[in-house]
Amino acid sequence: MGYGIIGSIGNAYHLISMGAIHLGKYANHAMKLRAIFERITGIIESYHPDEVALEAPFFGKNVQSMLKLGRAQGVAMAAALNRNVPICEYAPKRVKQAVTGNGNASKEQVAAMVKNLLNLNEDASNFDATDAAAVALCHFFQSGKPSTGKGSHKSWESFLKANPERKK
């Protein structure tokens, strides 16, 4: 499972962090879900995002895979909601369209565009991480407004006034 964190000031954006949560070492699905919850909670506590964007569930042929993916997405949502961070979801085709201009783009095409858009010098072949960064970019592009992150409020007081749910 990937994650991507971008920061923005006005119309400019930059990569803060991206990576993958490796789950292969966990014996069963329940332990993987626990690891996802704990890791997403830790990322939220470390970076204090204003919003979380997730790729919406998609319909596939394997029902068991869809069920497991839906559970993982639900756990990630619960971690964000547990920290009072608003959530937005985007369909996979919408993410691909926003980042590459083609809703049917391959993972390789998405990774190449993420690398280009974020000016990455390093290898961008971890598709979990680049897909997650693509979701973050899609959210930025689709929001139609600059982020309420650093730089867009003159003071903590103005931030809290604009985001009363974040007082806790």
Task: Quote the longest CA-to-CA distance of the chain.
Answer: 50
pLDDT tens per residue, range 28-42: 999 999 999 999 999
pLDDT at residue 149, as a whole number: 44
pLDDT tens per residue, range 135-155: 999 999 998 654 444 444 445
Can you tell me the distance from the alpha carbon of 105 to that of 92, in angstroms, rounded to the nearest whole number?
10
pLDDT at residue 125, as a whole number: 76
CATH of domain 2-166: 3.30.420.10
**CA–CA distance from 29 to each of 23, 39, 63 (Å)?**
9, 15, 15
Can you tell me the mean pLDDT for 56-74?
Answer: 85
- Give the domain ranges of the chain: 2-166
